[in-house]
Amino acid sequence: MTTQPPADATALADLVATGAASPEELLDEALARVAAVNPKLNAVVNLQEDVARKAISDGLPEGPFRGVPFLLKDLGAEAIDFPSHNGSRLHKNTRYTCDSEIYARMRATGVVTFGRTTSPEGGIGPVTEAAVYGGPTRNPWDLSRTSGGSSGGAGAAVAAGIVPLAHGSDGGGSVRIPASSSGLFGFKATRARFPDGPAAGEGWAGMAIDGFLSRSVRDNARMMDACAGPESGAPYAAPEMPTSYADAIKLPPPRLRILVCDTTFGGEVIDPECRAAVETAAKLLESLGHSVTPGRPKADHAGMMQAWTRIVACGTALGIKSALAAKNRELREDDVEGISRGAMEFAAGISGADYLAAVGRIHAYGREMAAAFSECDIILSATLAEPPAKIGRFTHDRTDFEPYRVGPDGVFAYSPFCATFNASGQPAASVPLHWTSDNLPVGVHLAAPFGDDATLIALCAEIEQAAPWAHRTPPLFAG
C-alpha cells in the first residue's frame, strides 16, 4: 500500500499545464505500466501507440485532461482510429467509418487515447473472460478473482495504475460492478445523459449508458461534464441539470433522507462483508448529519429482471445477426461463445409483442422506483451481494441464458442492485468504502431520483472527503 494517493487525471493534467510533465512522458509511462502488469491482468488490448503519438504531435485540444493517457472500452465508443473486437471473435478487428459522438467529446478533453480495455462478449456478464482475448481479465487485488464486467478491463487498468481514468459503459451495472470489484469510483448517470449516436439511438431499450471508472470523484465529474448532453437527432434527453457535475461537488449536498437496505431489495441475505460495508456507510452518513432509516424500495424487482433478461437477449441476437448480415454469411461454431448462443435461442422464442411487453414492464418499474423515492432522497445498499467472484464462476461457456441471468446462483443473485437503476433510468454510483479481511474491495451503492445526478455526485464527494480511498492500492500496482 502506498503512503500517498496516486495522481488522478486532474493532477496529471495540471502537471502538463505547468510544464512539469509532457504528454509524451505520460504516454511513455502508461505504456511502460501496460508492459509491466498487463501480462498478468489481460486488461489492455488493441494498442494504438502510433495514433496516440500522432495526436500529440498534431496538437491536443485545450481541454480539462490535456495530455492524460486514456483507454476506451472495447465495446461501443466507435472510433475510426481504434478498431475493436467488441469482446467477440465474430466482431474481431472491426473498423469504423465514423467517430461516435461520445468519443468525439472524450477526445475534446485532451486525453491521449492509446488503446482499448477488455469486455465480455456482448457486454452481458458481471465478469470479463471473453475468448477473443485469449483468457480472463483478472483483478489486481487478487488474480484468482474477476475485476468485474462488462467494463472489467477498464476497472483492472485503473486499479492497477495503468491510467487514472478510463471509459466504460453500464447496461446492468457494467461500470458499478467493476468499480466495486476493483476498489474504484463508478457513476451511472441518468438515462440519456450522454449520446449514443450515430451508430444507435439507444442501447437495450434505453437501459445502457456510457460512463467512467476513476480513482477520484472529481475526475469522473469533469469527464461527465465534457460528455453530457444529447446529440442532434437523439430520441430523448435527460432532464437538464441545475449545475454541472464539477460545480456540484464543490459544496456538500443538503442533509438528506437516506433509505438503508442491508439485504437485497427483495429481502434476501447478502454476504456479511457486504452487509458490513452498508452498515459502515450508514454510520458515516449519519455522522455527517444525514437522516438514516432502514428499509427496502417496494417494486416488482423479480419482474423487472425477467423483462431485462428478455430485452438483453433480443439485443444480443440483433447484434449477432447484424454482424453476420454485414459479412454475408451464416453463424459458425466458433463465432460466438455459449452464452451468446443461448441468448439467441432464448430470443428466438420472444415475439414482437413479448418484447414490447418487456419494455412496458421496465417502464412500469421505473414508475415504481420513482414512487420509492417519495419518502427518501437516496437509497443506500451494497453494490454486489458478495465480494468479487472467482474466475470461472460466470463462464460464458454455458448456453442456458435465462438461468444464467435469473437462476438461484445466477448473475442477478450476485448483482441484485445495479440493474434496478438501469431499468429505472435513475442515477447510481458505487463508492469504495470497505475492504474484506482478505483485502478485497467491496463497493457501497448509492442511488438518487431520476435527473438528480447533482445531489448524488455531491454526496459521493462528501463521502470521499470524509473517508478517503485513493491511497489504497492493490498488490499488483504499476503506479
Determine the 3-state secondary structure of 1 from DSSP. coil
Q: How many helices (H) and strands (E) does the chain have?
A: 16, 13
Confirm if 219 and 106 have CB atoms less than 8 A apart: no
Rounded to the nearest 10°, the torsion over CA 119, 175, 247, 22 is -30
Residues 192 and 183: their CA atoms lie apart, in Å, by 26
Known active-site residue 73: yes
Phi, psi (deg, nearest 5) at residue 47: -60, 140
Residues 6+ apart with CB under 8 A from 108: 61, 63, 226
Active site residue 174: yes
CA distances to 215, 244, 275, 339 from 452, rounded to whole Å, are 22, 11, 26, 36
Determine whether 84 is an active site residue. no
110 with 203: CB under 8 angstroms? Answer: no
Tell me which amino acid residue 274 is. C
Pick from 34, 53, 13, 190: which is nearest to 118 by CA?
34
Assess contact for 284 and 261: CB atoms under 8 A. no
User: Integer distance in angstroms from the first to the last C-alpha of the chain?
Assistant: 11
β-strand partners of 213:
166, 186
Catalytically annotated residue among 100, 150, 169, 340: 150
Q: Which of 84, 88, 100, 174 is catalytic?
A: 174
Burial class (CB in 10 A: 0-12, 13-18, 19+), 303: middle
Beta strands in 233-310 (DSSP E): 257-260, 291-294
Residue 240's H or E segment, with its range, is: none
Contact 67, 112 (CB under 8 A): yes
Cell representation of residue 459: 454526496
Query: β-pairing, 44-45 with 112-117?
Result: antiparallel
* The three grid cell numbers given for residue 288, joined into one nine-digit string: 455527517
Q: In whole angstroms, how far apart are CA 302 and each of 36, 208, 372, 380, 416?
A: 44, 19, 16, 19, 10
The Cα 70–Cα 52 span in angstroms is: 10
| Alpha carbons 285 and 345: distance in angstroms, whole number | 46
Angle between helices 338-348 and 301-327 (to 10 degrees): 100
Residue 136 parent element (H or E): none
* Residues classed as catalytic: 73, 150, 174
